A and B are shown apart, each in its own frame.
Chain A
Amino acid sequence: QKEVEQDPGPLSVPEGAIVSLNCTYSNSAFQYFMWYRQYSRKGPELLMYTYSSGNKEDGRFTAQVDKSSKYISLFIRDSQPSDSATYLCAMNKPLQGAQKLVFGQGTRLTINP
C-alpha cells in the first residue's frame, strides 16, 4: 500500500466550478502537507503548504488538512482554463536525518471554457 493515495482522475469540470482534490495518507510521521501544480512538460511548482490541521486560504485556493482522518484537500474556487494541470499532493517525513517528500500520484484536471 502506498503511503500517499491520490485519485489520478482525470477530472473535467466547466469553467467557474469549484474543484475538490483529495489525498489520503497512512503515515502519522508526516509533518508538512504541500500541493504542487504541474503543467505539461514542466516541473512541479508549489501552490500551498500547511503544517497543522485546519484551513489555509490563498486567493482562489484553499488547502485543508485533517490529521485525525489522515486526509487533505485542495479546493479551487471560480476555476479557470489556466488551472488545467496535474495537481500533486506531497508530504514530508524524516529520512536518515534529512527530509523526504512523498508525492501522491497526481490528479489531472481539465477546466473547460
Chain B
Amino acid sequence: DSGVTQTPKHLITATGQRVTLRCSPRSGDLSVYWYQQSLDQGLQFLIQYYNGEERAKGNILERFSAQQFPDLHSELNLSSLELGDSALYFCASSVDEGQPWGYTFGSGTRLTVV
C-alpha cells in the first residue's frame, strides 16, 4: 500500500456521462497530481494542486476539471465522456513541489466508457 488511496478502482459508464474520481494523498503530502495512462499515449500529466490551489495544468481537456479540498483530498471530474477517455487515471502525491523524485502514486482508477 503506497499510502495514496484512489476510488473507485474500476468504473464503467456510458458515453455522454459524467464521473468523479477521488484521491486521498499520503498523510502529510500537500501536493496532488493527476495523470492519465492510455496504451497509445503513455502517462500524461493532467493537473497539479498544492495545498488547495491549482499549480500547473498539462494536456487536460476542457471537459475535465479537478479540485483539492481543505482536507487535501482531490477529485477529478470527467464530463461528456467519450470512448477515447477510457484509460487508467492515476493520482500521485508529494510533500512539496521541490522534489520531483518524491511522487507516490496510487493504484489508479480504470475507467471504461462504453
Q: A residues engaging B (CB < 8 A)?
A: 31-32, 34, 41-46, 49, 88, 90, 92, 95-106
Q: Complex formed: what's the CA distance from A101 to B50 in Å? A: 15
Q: Is the CB of A43 within 8 A of B107?
A: yes
What are 17 A-B contacts with C-beta separation under 8 Å? A34-B101, A41-B108, A43-B2, A43-B90, A45-B2, A46-B101, A49-B100, A49-B101, A95-B58, A96-B57, A97-B56, A98-B55, A99-B56, A100-B48, A100-B56, A101-B33, A101-B45
Q: Complex formed: what's the CA distance from A36 to B4 in Å? A: 16
Looking at chain B's contact residues, the main secondary structure is strand
Q: Complex formed: what's the CA distance from A49 to B106 in Å? A: 19
Q: Is the CB of A98 within 8 A of B56?
A: yes
Which one of B42, B56, B107 has the greatest number of beta carbons of chain A within 10 Å?
Answer: B42
Q: Does B43 contact A (CB under 8 A)?
A: yes
| Chain B residues bordering chain A, tally (CB within 8 A) | 25
Q: Complex formed: what's the CA distance from A106 to B90 in Å? A: 15
Partner of B43, one of A44, A45, A49, A98: A44
Chain B residues with CB under 8 Å of A43's CB are 2, 4, 90, 92, 105-108
Partner of A101, one of B100, B107, B108: B100
Beyond A98-B56, A103-B44, A104-B42, 12 extra complex contacts between A and B, CB < 8 Å: A32-B101, A34-B100, A43-B106, A43-B107, A45-B2, A88-B42, A95-B58, A96-B56, A98-B50, A99-B56, A100-B48, A100-B58
